[in-house]
Amino acid sequence: MDFELSDDQRSFRETARRFAEQEFGPHAADWDETGHFPVEQIRHAGETGFCGVYTPEALGGLGLSRLDATIIFEEMARIDPSTAAYITIHNMATWMVANWAQSDLAETLVPQLASGEKLASYCLTEPGAGSDAASLRTRAERDGDVYRLTGSKAFISGAGSTDWLVVMTRTSDDGARGITTFAVPADTPGISYGKKETKMGWNSQPTRTISFDNAEVPAANRLGEEGGGFKIAMKGLDGGRINIATCSVGAAQGAVDAAQRYMKERRQFGRTLAEFQGLQFKLADMVTELVAARQMVRLAASKLDGGHPGATTFCAMAKRLATDLGFSICNDALQLHGGYGYIREYPLERLLRDVRVHQILEGTNEIMRVIIARNLLDQDSTESLS
């Protein structure tokens, strides 16, 4: 078992770090303040390959592993968790189109998504279907060579500013087996967007509801088979949980970096904060938890890459641990800054606000515990988690 990064992975990390520092660093606070969606910088990420990290090379992506992706996304989130999180969502949508679209659509659309020329939103959650994704009600009725979509989606990242929507719909009343996925142009007649939500964090990406009123979608835009959408969604969520956990790790690293700098600079009672043993202990605990979260995320990514039978459980554990610890570390870093941590001149309050939602989305951490416990109790032993 080798915990060291390969030369290629170190190169990915350095490239992502430079990119984030140059493209996100000077603007992240302003984007948060104004609610600006940085389409230009996201397209630059696509030019670097970061909009199709685990999309196949044959369709314009980098063709990297999920483990490689965690290394890249962590560096982005260290500077700007909000923008990094949108890029991970776009990557998930791109991967879904690449893997399940019919060949003509895939060959046309995926290179545009992987390059950042076109941006995508992922549409699963509904006003009445959050944790219980199988209860979604947005319907797609077949009419010859088209489907007509009716219903609504909620909390959709990028909605109103992206070019394509990957939409989970109901094509029959057969529970989870009645769900079907479509790639839908965002400007399709019959689609309308709600107001831009005012949020606690994630302010560099717009969040809106989406309504479908007999929006006509070609049958050729269906992803996978009719009724196969729930499996696509669940496979997407495994990776999505790793992605959001990675964003928490990145934000926590950014908070630790800020705390280290501040403790060396700030003086009280004639000494720097770094000289107080109590604060040294706090920093030591923060870094220990950060490393534990990072290794849990990388373990889950490795299990997903390897097709391990317990991969879903590992992804749920990583999401639960990393998002809880990530928030705690950012909060502790803010505390170490005292009153300065609470003002916007420093990045701590932005990091804290951005990571709070990570404990909710891609399945709440309470749902993660349900998944872990159910999968564990379905086994005769813990061997499948070794």
The DSSP bridge partners found for residue 210 are 153, 193
Neighbour-count burial of 8, counting CB atoms closer than 10 A to its CB (0-12 exposed, 13-18 middle, 19+ buried): exposed
d(CA 94, CA 124): 15
- Residue 41 tokens read as 């910088």
What's the rounded Cα separation, in Å, for the pair 364 and 191?
A: 28
Which tokens in the block code for residue 313? 């459980």
Q: Please give the sequence-ordered ranges of beta strands (E in DSSP) within 32-94, or none if there are none.
A: none
Rounded to whole angstroms, what are the CA distances from 223 to 124, 152, 204, 338?
14, 19, 29, 51
Q: Which two tokens stand for residue 152?
A: 């609504």
User: How far is Cα 354 from Cα 165, in angstroms, rounded to an integer?
Assistant: 24
Name which of 32, 38, 42, 34 is nearest 87 in CA terms.
42
| 3-state class (DSSP) for residue 350 | helix
Q: What is the 3-state secondary structure (H, E, C) of 224-254?
A: CCCCCHHHHHHHHHHHHHHHHHHHHHHHHHH
Q: Are 301 and 70 in contact (CB under 8 A)?
A: yes
Query: Which residues are designated catalytic?
Result: 362
**Would you state the structure tokens that stand for residue 196, as one six-digit string?**
């831009």
Rounded Cα distance, 70 and 297, in Å: 8
The rounded distance, in Å, linking the Cα atoms of 263 and 336 is 8
C-alpha distances in Å from residue 228, one per residue of 169, 171, 231: 11, 10, 6
Contact 183/221 with Cβ under 8 angstroms?
A: yes
Nearest to 306 by CA among 113, 65, 83: 65
